[in-house]
Structure 1
Amino acid sequence: MYIQTVLGKIRSEELGVCACHEHLYLDLSHVKKNDDTRLQDLNLVLTDLRNFVELGGKAIIEVTNDGMGRDVEKLVEISESLDLQIIASTGCYKDPLIPDEKLPWTRDEFSEWMIDEIENGINGTDVKPGVIGEIGSSLNKFQQIEIELFHGAIQAAKATKLPLSTHTTLGTMAKEQVELFIREGLPLNQVIIGHQDLNEHDEIVLDVLSAGPFVALDTIGKENYRTDEARLTSLLKFLENGYEDQLLLSSDLTRKSHLRVNGGQGYDVVLRDFVPRLKEKGIPELVIEKLLVKNPQKAFSIGKEGETK
């Protein structure tokens, strides 16, 4: 098994401490109408990422895709500058951030395009994506274009064996996403359900975990949505229920104001703040290593055999 980075393939065990859901170069301002959502100052991003690296961070799953300002050449630059493993994405996000020219597309067109990027490289480069994501649903529903997008992503994942990472708006639609993957026969050990630390209904997250996908608690530090103390309480419950092999952590920075130099949480918030709190709660080092290292290795490996429970 291997993981596809922007600099080429690596053995899965080379990944290291990994943030499972981040953005290093993106622009949502054309939809958000807010310049804060144009995170494209490489010098500031590099400075902030150095804190992550200094605390032991080795890898970033970069889920910026088409329509979100994706630029894989910038990711190559960051990777080479910091000796950081970066995994790029193919796909589209969600309504209304799907590019206009793709709005009429069918699932087959989405699938063919993603497969072409996976096999041949992104936007004329030789940089290949290592994940399909973040593929998103809207608040409490799938928009029609999102249904086509999800089906296209599933087809591409089945054809190429790449992992598929999702967006759930404020944590909603996680069970519905899982049900769709089951109906379409996508192995759930190939799936990462995103933003479940925004889902305040622990019983729903436990139901999702019981089906077998990886689950990302990936907005750590965004306390305007939910406190990290509440996130921690939920995580402890998931661990107590035996799901330490399926959980992933990250912080999902999307704004200039999220950088530490601008008073935000920074890319290192999980390692700097959240992990020490886990240790204070008595979570063993071996479990923390699963959350940061072992589980990402499994989740983002290509060509996994079999299915989880």
Structure 2
Amino acid sequence: MSFIRTFHGDIDPKTLGFTYSHEHIVCRPPYWVEQEVDDLLLDDKEKSKQDVLDFKRLGGEAIVDATAIDYGRDVKAVKEIAEETGITIVGTAGFNKSFLWAANIPNHLKPVIGDYATFYEWIEAKSINELADFVIREVEEGLEGTNIPGGQVKFGTGYNRITPLEEKTIRAVARAHHETKAPVHSHTEAGTMALEQIEILKSENVSLEYVSFGHMDRNPDPFYHEQVAKTGALLSFDGISKIKYAPESTRIHCILELVKKGYGKQILVSGDTARKTYYKHYDYGLGLENILGKWVPRFINEADQAGFAGEELVKDFFVNNPAKCFTFKL
């Protein structure tokens, strides 16, 4: 039995369709609220919805919302967007990365998490298995006490390091994966520490074919990418449109290098659109339409010129590979 768990319920993987594999739709990260960084607060449901509709108009069908509990999910608002647009949305259980855990836990989460002041205190106080049980409930019962279930489990680590608490959450998420069979997603800060994360996952007997590693294009190193791909894991190139980190030519080169080595079935592509300035309807940014409207045609052109079948690769990156990646296999 296999299925993808969405905000709409469990669906046949074949029906997922054209998918962005790592986005943020409505969220108010407590850390950034406290730091008063307004750009990182996607706090207007209607504006986010307009960008989702732009994506739909160009043929988009599904979005994976990679927002974990410590990054300020608004589960109900995102579900409303799913219902009002008809876009399939996959939610995320688990955690992000340690520096965010300095933030105070919002009052609305206290009934779910318990009476802890900060995320750090909560994660420190709980055992690995207790954290795993929390993640399991978010997959099997619902995110943040709702009846809206998570469709993947997530952990994250910082730049060039893994803290003891981050290792704790990796192990908790691994154990939740074994119990629920949910797919696993990793946040890698600037594309670092994936290989070290892999060693921890192996020690928890996680098969890497169930894991996707985010932000691989933030570390545009083809040798490094190959080492991750050799494990059977999926690599998420989710910084499309972010020229401040690298030109699109660099991302396309790295993707085609993996394809050349036979790893085209292990690539996901998305935008990690987590700022007002990235969204068209918040602050006149490129928006959710940019990848589908402009990047995909460019990629097809460059892939074709390099001797690859561009349209077939796009179907893999946005349809076939997400359908495989986000499937529960019971």
Question: TM (normalized to structure 1)?
Answer: 0.95
* Aligned CA distance change for structure 1 residues 62 and 157 (closer, same or farther; 3 Å): same
- Cα distance in 2 between the residues matched to 1:270 and 1:238: 20
Q: What does residue 121 of structure 1 align with?
A: 142
Q: What does residue 204 of structure 2 align with?
A: 184
- Cα distance in 1 between the residues matched to 2:127 and 2:168: 6
Q: What does residue 47 of structure 1 align with?
A: 50
User: Aligned pairs, how many?
Assistant: 303
- Cα distance in 1 between the residues matched to 2:122 and 2:261: 42
Structure (1 or 2) with the greater helix fraction: 2
Q: Which ranges in structure 1 are unaligned for 5 or more consecutive residues?
A: 305-309
1:241 aligns with 2:244: no
2:270 aligned to which of 230, 247, 250: 250
- Cα distance in 2 between the residues matched to 1:266 and 1:32: 25
For 1:24-46, what per-residue CA distance to the aligned partner results, in whole angstroms no more than 9, with x for missing partners?
Answer: 01123235531111101111111
For 1:151-173, what per-residue CA distance to the aligned partner results, in whole angstroms no more than 9, with x for missing partners?
Answer: 00000011110001011000001
- Cα distance in 2 between the residues matched to 1:268 and 1:208: 29
- Cα distance in 2 between the residues matched to 1:279 and 1:100: 44
Q: What does residue 279 of structure 1 align with?
A: 300
- Cα distance in 2 between the residues matched to 1:180 and 1:277: 38
Amino acid at match of 2:264: E
Q: For residues 62-73 of structure 1, what are the structure 2 equivalents within 5 Å?
A: 62-73=65-76
Between 1:228-237 and 1:148-157, the stretch displaced more is 228-237
Q: What does residue 5 of structure 2 align with?
A: 4
1:162 aligned to which of 178, 182, 185: 182
Amino acid at match of 1:199: N
For 1:128-148, what per-residue CA distance to the aligned partner results, in whole angstroms no more than 9, with x for missing partners?
Answer: 111112x11110010111010
Amino acid at match of 2:80: E
Equivalent residues of 1:31, 1:96 under 8 A apart: no
Equivalent residues of 1:22, 1:250 under 8 A apart: yes
Amino acid at match of 2:289: D
- Cα distance in 2 between the residues matched to 1:36 and 1:86: 23
For 1:244-298, what per-residue CA distance to the aligned partner results, in whole angstroms no more than 9, with x for missing partners?
Answer: 1100000001111111242322112221122111111104222210111000000
* Aligned CA distance change for structure 1 residues 81 and 269 (closer, same or farther; 3 Å): same
1:95 aligns with 2:98: yes
Q: What does residue 146 of structure 1 align with?
A: 166
In percent, how many aligned pairs have the same letter? 30
* Aligned CA distance change for structure 1 residues 58 and 278 (closer, same or farther; 3 Å): same
For 1:27-78, what per-residue CA distance to the aligned partner results, in whole angstroms no more than 9, with x for missing partners?
Answer: 2323553111110111111111111111111001101111211121111101
Q: Secondary structure at the match of 1:40?
A: coil
- Cα distance in 1 between the residues matched to 2:34 and 2:70: 10
Equivalent residues of 2:123, 2:131 under 8 A apart: no
1:109 aligns with 2:130: yes
Q: Secondary structure at the match of 1:26?
A: coil
- Cα distance in 1 between the residues matched to 2:276 and 2:80: 19
Shift of 1:201: 1.6
- Cα distance in 1 between the residues matched to 2:189 and 2:36: 19
Question: TM (normalized to structure 2)?
Answer: 0.89
Q: Secondary structure at the match of 2:236?
A: strand
- Cα distance in 1 between the residues matched to 2:156 and 2:36: 20
Amino acid at match of 1:63: A
Q: For residues 17-28 of structure 1, what are the structure 2 equivalents within 5 Å?
A: 17-28=18-29
Amino acid at match of 2:173: A
Equivalent residues of 1:31, 1:97 under 8 A apart: no
Q: What does residue 307 of structure 1 align with?
A: none
Q: Runs in 1 of length 4+ with deviation above 3 angstroms?
A: none
- Cα distance in 2 between the residues matched to 1:3 and 1:47: 25
1:301 aligns with 2:304: no
2:285 aligned to which of 248, 256, 264: 264
Amino acid at match of 1:2: F
Equivalent residues of 1:111, 1:155 under 8 A apart: yes
1:61 aligns with 2:64: yes
Q: Which ranges in structure 2 are unaligned for 5 or more consecutive residues?
A: 102-118
